[in-house]
Structure 1
Amino acid sequence: MGLLQKLTKPFIDIFVLVWDFNLLLLNFVLPSYKPGHLVPEGQAGHGGKWPEYIPPKEGDSRSACPMINAMANHGILPHDGKNISFKELNTKLRQTFNFAPSFCFFVPKFSADFLDRSYWGGRFDLAELSKHNAIEHDGSLTRQDVAIVPDQAKPDLELVDQLLKEATGTMPDGSPLLTKRDLSLALSKRRYAARKSNPAYTESFFHNMFGSSNSSTMLTIFGGRVNDLTPMLTEERFPDNWEPRILGRFGLTMAAFNATVIPVERGVDVKKIEASHAATEAK
């Protein structure tokens, strides 16, 4: 990170937090969008109609994030996943998932900083977002650790299947629903397994919080609905007739998001999983 970026970062961070809190208050005051009316006419996803899904071809760039990859697979971001501006990512995240403007600024700005580029004029390829221990981290619910599978562009379908089978909730129509408790248990099991299988495994409070944050989008933007998460996590594709489940006027703020992230992370108990395995092996 350049000297100017280091000097301005604390001021930008404070500004984003204040901005985010004010958006949170406005969401309380202003009426939410009605289901089916979030995405305006002329924008990708209006009426549940998304641009054509085209899987990545050889040479295309993809990241460790299913949601960002889906945007490229549908042509919302350049399909080859290359030469994308951080400001374009900001705009497209906001339009596609209804994250708050503060959130949509913070994530690309954070990415620009760890890639040592300017948010205002810099560009990147999606694969660069998979820099180890930046946004990408060990113990992911949809990818094997980078020490085991260096290419983070594709999901591990066995891990995804294990995750979705954790769902214990039920929608009114009887379809399965992931809950906070389910996600905490899945993260507990995954971190235990990653520690056992990856000699280069690394973990910190920051990485754990980022892992819970990445995972918690499944409960917020997707509402925990397994029928919607299945195509997103396996094919990195938007389901037909899908729209974000966050309908607040200013989208999902970081402050509101923490109401999901913190309980999920607090519910993670790797020691309990370790003790359970030890008891099983002792029999």
Structure 2
Amino acid sequence: MRRAATRPGVDTAASTTSAITETPFSPLLASPVPAHDHHSHASGICLVRGADNAFCPPQPGDKRSPCPALNALSNHGFLPRDGRNIGPFKIYHALREGYNLSMILAFILAFGGWAILGQLRKVSLLDLSRHNCIEHDASLFHLDAHGKEEYAPIAASNSLMKSALYQGGRYRSGHMTLEDVANIRVKREAALEKPLRWWQAEIARGEMAVAIGVLGGKDADKKGLDLEVLRLWVTQERLPDDWEPDHTQGLFKTGKMATVIRDRMAAMKKGQMTNILDNELTPIFSPTESVSVGI
């Protein structure tokens, strides 16, 4: 299992997939990116960072998706750094190597997602933003697709990200727990004109179960995920320096975590449980949003 490498330097490079840069990250999480001119990832590797898994933000012409999990794998070189010519086998191996998912969970995510996408050829990460396939409305961190647009925004929303960070940490300070996710998801889905399709609702719960399970460590089902790690992962689409998985995230554990979210959401929707977020007014954050779909 290779680690996300540490690289010291001056931070002058910014991810083209995120506009959330007001607050610097702790140097304990992520070292600054060395200054360098724009360069090409056309070969699928980074000529500046080399063949290791050090972080390099997307360069002009690189493709990215609305999924921070896959974008981070590309930014660290587990997937082609240009985000192009990707098939299910590459995604499977990247999920195994980068996040240490079990064979069966990685297989289901890679090939199941491919089936939903309906592709018979290799794609770019941008293709994953096709609306109402794998991509879905009511994301915790991304704006919904506008009208009949074929592709959804790929960049994280400033206001949604800040709202999620504000609404998290209610059960364990500084951590996003499964209970927090359920509370936030109920609020997001309540704002939809049409409910999510059943498989999209499963994806929405499962993707957060995987994120918390992998990045939060082996006890994340109880302790949650550090909010600063979550912010780094979503907004910069990178892994903390020297981070590596401390366990194999499997299908059974992920399913149990997703079920916690599902059952709590169902109880709140039926009025059997109170959503603590209903008792407060979430601050209105900056309306400035990043909605690029052409990276």
> TM-score of the superposition, structure 2-length normalised?
0.67
Residue matched to 1:263: 260
Residue matched to 1:137: 136
C-alpha contact 1:63 1:130 (8 A) present in aligned 2 = yes
Q: Output the CA distance in 2 between the equivalents of 1:72 and 1:213.
A: 21
Residue matched to 1:26: none
Pick closer, same or farther for the CA change 1:181–1:116 going to 2, 3 Å.
closer
Residue matched to 1:217: 210
Residue matched to 2:115: 113
TM-fit CA distance, 1:155: 0.9
Residue matched to 1:186: 184
C-alpha contact 2:146 2:152 (8 A) present in aligned 1 = no
The gaps in structure 2 that reach 5 residues or longer are 7-28, 31-51, 217-224, 282-295
Please identify, of 258-267 and 49-58, the stretch whose mean Cα deviation from structure 2 is larger: 49-58
Aligned to 2:106, which of 104, 107, 116?
Answer: 104
Matches within 5 A, 1:119-198: 122-147=121-146, 150-165=151-166, 166-170=168-172, 176-193=174-191, 195=192
C-alpha contact 1:100 1:253 (8 A) present in aligned 2 = yes
Q: Name the SS of the counterpart of 1:267 in structure 2.
A: helix
Q: Output the CA distance in 2 between the equivalents of 1:192 and 1:115.
A: 26
TM-fit CA distance, 1:96: 0.6
C-alpha contact 2:4 2:240 (8 A) present in aligned 1 = no
Q: Residues 104-149 of structure 1: CA distance to partner in whole angstroms, max 9, x if unpaired? A: 111121232233345xxx4111111222222211111011111268
TM-fit CA distance, 1:261: 0.1
Count of paired positions: 223
> Which is higher, the Rg of structure 1 or of structure 2?
1
Which residue identity is paired with 1:139? A
Q: Output the CA distance in 1 between the equivalents of 2:278 and 2:174.
A: 27
Q: Output the CA distance in 2 between the equivalents of 1:127 and 1:88.
A: 15
Q: Residues 156-184 of structure 1: CA distance to partner in whole angstroms, max 9, x if unpaired? A: 122112112221244xxxx6111221111
Residue matched to 2:4: 45
Residue matched to 1:229: 230
Which residue identity is paired with 1:258? G
> TM-score of the superposition, structure 1-length normalised?
0.69
Q: Residues 76-124 of structure 1: CA distance to partner in whole angstroms, max 9, x if unpaired? A: 2111101112211111110110111111111121232233345xxx411
Which residue identity is paired with 2:198? F
Q: Output the CA distance in 2 between the equivalents of 1:178 and 1:115.
A: 29
Q: Output the CA distance in 2 between the equivalents of 1:208 and 1:167.
A: 23
Structural RMSD (CA): 3.1
Q: Residues 20-65 of structure 1: CA distance to partner in whole angstroms, max 9, x if unpaired? A: xxxxxxxxxxxxxxxxxxx2xxx34379997332222333211111
C-alpha contact 1:189 1:270 (8 A) present in aligned 2 = no
Q: Output the CA distance in 2 between the equivalents of 1:277 and 1:101.
A: 40
Q: Determine what percentage of the aligned residue pairs are the same residue.
A: 25
Which residue identity is paired with 2:209? S
More helix by share: 1
C-alpha contact 2:5 2:53 (8 A) present in aligned 1 = no
Which residue identity is paired with 2:139? S
Q: Name the SS of the counterpart of 1:221 in structure 2.
A: helix
Please identify, of 96-105 and 152-161, the stretch whose mean Cα deviation from structure 2 is larger: 152-161
Aligned to 1:59, which of 38, 58, 61?
Answer: 61
Which residue identity is paired with 1:115? L
Residue matched to 1:68: 70
Q: Output the CA distance in 1 between the equivalents of 2:202 and 2:118.
A: 22
Aligned to 1:79, which of 73, 78, 81?
Answer: 81
Q: Name the SS of the counterpart of 2:127 in structure 1.
A: helix
